[in-house]
């Protein structure tokens, strides 16, 4: 008898977390983990070899490249592949950018397992999944129209966006380099590019902007 379970690919660089999520999903009668990957390159190799799955669960922060870069590469191969971001990062900051990148939803890792399963099934139906609070926030934002600062932030690359968020949380370049598994030189380059794109005059101006922006998003 042919299995009717939806094939799920799980991409996360934390092996223990992947294992826990896989166990939960495999217990469901309609879902099964088809493949796991610790980074984007591994995931792309699997997809090229086995073909598309029914849904991909993708983390925002990976050790090699951002999840936003991974989704871009995956959609270049399989444009219709449904992707659900599952991340520790606050949805109030990242969910809109995830949708802009082509994701079909966003779930925070702090949520209950039932929330993740609900999100997976909604995306498999062809729907977009966000928390109720996030849905309301986006609708209000659309109704109000985008401001010039928001338009400038949308010019940042995924990596620059991550760095801006971490600066706003009070992290130094050394701490950000460690969190994102990047060199300090790379982080300093991102800081410079962010300042140029957002028309900020110096490092202190960048910190003030980032801190205020993170506070407003929350």
At residue 132, the pLDDT reads 86
Provide the 10 A C-beta neighbour count for residue 173: 19
At residue 2, the pLDDT reads 47
Provide the 10 A C-beta neighbour count for residue 128: 15
C-alpha 58/C-alpha 192 separation (Å) is 28
At residue 127, the pLDDT reads 95
177-199 CB burial, b ≥16 within 10 A, e <16: beebebeeeebeebbebbbebbe
CATH level 3 topology of 6-138: Rossmann fold (3.40.50)
C-alpha 6/C-alpha 107 separation (Å) is 19
First CA to last CA distance, the chain: 50
At residue 1, the pLDDT reads 40
* pTM, two decimal places: 0.72
Token readout for 155 is 């010019």
At residue 96, the pLDDT reads 85
**List of E strands, 68-217:** 83-87, 105-108
Provide the 10 A C-beta neighbour count for residue 114: 9
At residue 11, the pLDDT reads 94
Per residue in 165-214, pLDDT tens?
Answer: 899 889 999 999 988 888 999 999 999 999 998 889 899 999 998 898 87
Domains of the chain by residue range = 6-138, 148-217
**Cα 36 → chain centroid:** 17
At residue 156, the pLDDT reads 86
What is the CATH architecture of 148-217? Orthogonal Bundle (1.10)
At residue 3, the pLDDT reads 59
At residue 53, the pLDDT reads 93
Positions of the chain with pLDDT under 50: 1-2
- Which residues have CB under 8 Å from 176's CB, separation 6+? 163, 166, 167, 182, 187
Which residue shows structure tokens 């966003």? 106
């Amino acid at each position: 008898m042919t299995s009717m379970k939806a094939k799920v690919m799980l991409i996360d660089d934390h092996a223990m977390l992947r294992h826990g999520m896989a166990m939960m999903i495999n217990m469901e009668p309609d879902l099964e983990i088809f493949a796991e990957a610790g980074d984007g390159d591994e995931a792309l190799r699997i997809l090229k070899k086995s073909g598309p799955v029914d849904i991909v669960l993708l983390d925002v922060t990976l050790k090699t490249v951002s999840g936003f870069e991974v989704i871009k590469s995956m959609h270049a191969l399989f444009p219709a592949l449904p992707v659900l971001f599952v991340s520790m990062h606050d949805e109030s900051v990242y969910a809109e950018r995830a949708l802009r990148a082509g994701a079909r939803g966003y779930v925070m890792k702090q949520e209950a397992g039932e929330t993740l399963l609900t999100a997976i099934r909604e995306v498999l139906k062809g729907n977009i999944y966000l928390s109720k609070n996030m849905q309301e926030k986006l609708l209000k934002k659309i109704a109000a129209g985008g401001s010039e600062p928001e338009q400038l932030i949308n010019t940042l690359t995924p990596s620059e966006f991550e760095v801006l968020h971490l600066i706003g949380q009070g992290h130094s370049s050394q701490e950000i380099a460690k969190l994102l598994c990047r060199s300090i030189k790379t982080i300093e380059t991102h800081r410079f590019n962010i300042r140029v794109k957002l028309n900020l005059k110096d490092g202190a101006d960048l910190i003030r902007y980032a801190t205020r922006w993170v506070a407003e998003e929350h």
